Structure 1
Amino acid sequence: MTVTVTAPQRSRRPVRGSRRASRWWADAAGSAAAGSVIIVLALWVAGQGVQNLEGADGGLASLGRLTGLLAADLMLLQVLLMARIPWVERAYGQDALARRHRWFGFASFWLMAAHIVLVTLGYEATAPMGLLRQVWSLVWTYPGMLLATAATALLFAVVLTSIRAARRRLRYESWHLIHLYAYLGVGLALPHQLWTGADFIATPWARTYWWTLYLTALGSVLMFRLGLPAWRSARHRLVVEQVLPEAPGVVSVHLSGRRLHQLPVRAGQFFLWRFLDGPGWSRAHPYSLSAPPAGDRLRITVKDLGDGSARLAALRPGIRVVIEGPYGAMTAPAAQPRPVVMFAAGIGITAIRALIEDPDIACRPVTLLYRTRGGHEPVFARELAAIAARQPLRVVYLHGPRPPRASFLPAHLAGRSDAAALRRLVPDVRDCDAFICGPVPWMRAARAALLGAGTPRDRIHAEEFAW
């Protein structure tokens, strides 16, 4: 059944200027990544890479050098992608960075595998002794090769657990722990590159480039993955204030701290949270704010999904909290004279609930399409009704079981065309800014419906939280 809660239209606040810094950073970061690959190719050419392609043995060795250089470059770009550099993260969003990290990771791995094969074949063509003996000789007699072999094994484990079928069989905590070994793999590969990689140390330009890239990656990790979270946690001293039930298996954690008004967080963003309540505190979990930041208080709302989230219901007031973030690019653009349509499913209502009261959205007419399975009162139903009494909010509850095909609608409303159904629910959808939060397949169905209904792609704001 569909239930609608509405409020009268109110006057809109003056429109503020658009924000362009994120676009600038996205362009700069993308250009820098492409430029790094060009530099690697230029260094290889300058090191007689093209000339050495003549002959079977020289050609194999030269191509092996090139694939090794490209693999190292992409591996370090991977580290930078996940270093949580605030300007880059804000420009792309964590889901976009994670996709690029995945692409770079697989490309780097296969280039590394090609490097190993080509170099081995090149040495075998020069001094035949059999492939197995050649591999043994390379590993045991060349400086740094034992460490490089260990690095290869670690990176292989990371790549193996990145395959979707393997990820589905792992708990998030296990997957995350294995992926931390990628940093160790990058570190163990460095001695081999410096001791036996002539392309790394042959010229001042090569030394400058590679040391700069390695130190930038290391500095970014130390500063943004370790230093900044530690500083913010110590500065703001977040503690649990109270834990309140919202629905079966769903609780809200209210937190207080110092100078939280100086924390650069906006509605729609999330933190990685560590609650210092005992064993398991070191495992971080991503939770969005479920209300706009208010003074020195924050709120998150969490559903028990069996991944450690059940612990939050037992948190006691006063427990210290360590945070990383804020992260995420699903925030409101500067206020525009356009209506807003929001899609929420399940616990995805948390980020949407916070966005509804964002100052750049609260002044605009909002339609919320809230997908639930029914059976109990939807999370935040009373809060949404209270908000609808004071700002132009219309809530459409879409209750019911899932349809047999991919759709953002429940089974009894899912006809042949989601786009046509969306136009009936939101007649002005083409003119709207759109926000989507929920399970990834459902989000993709909602995005497809918006595009099919004519909503411009650049007005659709969404961030996938799958790992």
Structure 2
Amino acid sequence: MTSRPDTPPPHPLYVRLTPQAVPPRPARAPRIPAPPLRTSPRALRSGLAAGAGTVVALWLAQAAPSLRLDALFATAAHLSGLLAAYGVLVMLLLMARVPALEHGVGADRLARRHALGGRYVLTLCLAHAAFALCAATAATGTDLLTAARGLLGYPALAAAVAGTALLAAVGVSSARAVRRRVRHETWRALHLLTYLGAALAFAHQLAGPDLAGPLAGWLWTMLHTTVGVLLIWYRLIVPVRQALRHSLRVIEVRSEGPGVISVVMQGLALDALRAEPGQFFRWRFLDRRLWRTSLPFSLSAPPRNDSLRITVKACGDHTRRIRRLRPGVRVLATGPFGAMTAHRRTRRKVLLLAGGVGITPMRALFETLPGDPGDLTLLYRAGSAAQLVLRDELEAIAAARGAALHYLLGPSDAPFDPLAPRALRNLVPDLPEHDVYLCGPPGMTEAASTALERAGVPASRIHTERFTF
């Protein structure tokens, strides 16, 4: 008789592991944040064109063919009004600081399209008013003044007139001749009237005949609501949330050369911002002389150790006041913004071309762009050796990475232009095979872009961003 064992035999699919036999748990790989969502310029153009086509289709669905003069004017008023309203929404969307647009298209391109589109929108608003007035005159058989008085008797039309007047005031303040004479803070305050003008126009649209039927009204309302939510979220809620979460403060202000200083700021969990070399923030220093103004400055070094650094040249009242900042001043940083980052790169070799204080984003890219020795070249244009900023850092990076670094010194009116096509080809013989990142004063940037194209670099591989908005 066989004795019963004290423990049952192990199941063929079961293996008992002693504590010594338990395999060690593999180390958890560091979490790599997902790349930010980016909307390409082509996708943006296609989306805006599709939206405009939808507006025209909506107008066609409601248009009633007629050869009467008042009906023709009314139909033209409906089309111009719908397109104007759509244009106002597009202008608001472009300046809503949506990260996908800012990172994919670029803040400078969005600002230029906003400025150009604003002229067309204002023209459409005025055309809508003129066609509506002509339609009322033809329908009533009265003169223009009498017809205008009759139209203003309707509250929705009076709101539309007020909204158009506000948009016109914003447009006039943005004219180049006017803007040069207006303080930046005043200009920005006037731009806030755009929101009130858009709200008044929206009330008129819902009350008027342009959106006949509940479906059209519902779709139009949802479109306005979506843009409104994006504006509130990215221009109000996100900056406040970032300020509360990161608690950014100035920890050091140091001189980098004649009229140039670096400001180092430290905060909490700054890696959550996912800032990339080449990008910029809009900085608001909560100092009594600076808190009213938000200024765009690029990062002059990669983010590290929960600190951010900018390098600023004193060229105006606000930038001069930055030199007097003291450690401990709180900072509100909105961003990051900008598309002049490594994702634009399409070639193995890269040329970084900087002028003046435009070296700041180039210095961050010079350190971080992937590349083997010989793949990176930095050309730094300055009036003299004394005007070179961050020189020691640049030379240390060049030595560590095996990258080429050339200083192009001399006054801008010198007989020899170091940024001429032939001079660039002499410095970089295989220049057409490079991607080029370019940053500097507007005049230098435009001249260098032209010279690069003449030297054989396609315009699509010249990456630049201007902060003149």
Decide: shared fold, TM above 0.5: yes
What are the within-5 Å matches in structure 2 for residues 160-309 of structure 1? Answer: 160-195=172-207, 197-200=208-211, 202-309=212-319
Matches of 1:150 and 1:336, distance apart in 2: 49
SS in 1 for 2:108: helix
Choose the corresponding residue for 2:160, options 148, 151, 173.
148
Post-superposition offset of 1:394:
2.2
Q: Does 1:87 align with 2:100?
A: yes
8 Å Cα contact 2:250-2:331 kept in structure 1:
yes
Larger radius of gyration between Structure 1 and Structure 2:
2
Q: Does 1:382 align with 2:382?
A: no
State which drifts further: 375-384 or 237-246. 375-384
Percentage identity across aligned positions?
A: 42
Which residue of structure 2 aligns with residue 77 of structure 1? 90
Q: Aligned pair in 2 of structure 1 residues 375, 386: CA closer, same or farther (>3 Å)?
A: closer
The alpha carbon displacement at 1:117 in A equals 0.7
**Displacement of 1:164:** 2.3
State the distance in 1 between where 2:75 and 2:305 align.
60
**What are the residue-to-residue correspondences of 1:328-407 with 2, within 5 Å?**
328-333=338-343, 338-360=348-370, 365-374=375-384, 376-403=386-413
| Cα 1:153–1:217 shift into 2, 3 Å | same
Cα separation, partners in 2 of 1:184 and 1:123, compared to 1, 3 Å = same
- Which AA in structure 1 matches 2:151? L
Q: Deviations over 1:434-453 (max 9, x none)?
A: 10001122112111111111
Instruction: Indicate conservation of the 8 Å contact 1:258/1:296, yes or no.
Output: yes
Tell me the equivalent position of 1:414: 417
Task: Tell me how far 1:27 sits from its aligned partner.
Answer: 4.1
Considering only aligned residues, what root-mean-square deviation do their CA atoms show, in Å?
2.1
Please tell me whether the aligned partners of residues 152 and 185 of structure 1 are also in contact (alpha carbons under 8 angstroms): yes
Cα shift readout 1:283-340 (whole Å, capped 9, x = no counterpart): 2110100111112011001111214111211111111111111000000138776222
Gaps of 5+ in 2: 1-34
Query: Secondary structure at the residue paired with 1:268?
Result: coil
Aligned pairs for 1:70-149 (under 5 A) are 70-139=83-152, 141-149=153-161
Structure 1 residue 351: deviation in Å? Answer: 0.9
Q: Amino acid of the residue matched to residue 158 of structure 2?
A: L
* Structure 2 CA distance for aligned equivalents of residues 169 and 105 of structure 1: 20
* TM-superposition CA deviations, 1:93-140 (whole Å, max 9, x none): 01111122122211110011101111101101111332123222212x
Query: Distance between the aligned counterparts of 2:222 and 2:202, measured in 1?
Result: 13
DSSP 3-state at the match of 1:355: helix
Distance 2:309 2:174 in 1: 32
Q: Which runs of 5+ in 1 are unaligned?
A: 1-18, 404-410
Larger relative contact order, structure 1 or 2 (CA cutoff 8 Å, min sep 6):
1
Aligned length: 435
Q: Which moved more, 1:108-117 or 1:448-457?
A: 448-457
TM-score (norm 1): 0.88
Q: 2:346, 2:102 → 1: CA distance? A: 24
Query: In structure 2, how many angstroms separate the alpha carbons of the residues matched to 1:170 and 1:363?
Result: 49
Give the AA of the match of 1:429.
L
TM-score, normalised relative to structure 2:
0.88
The aligned counterpart of 1:3 is: none
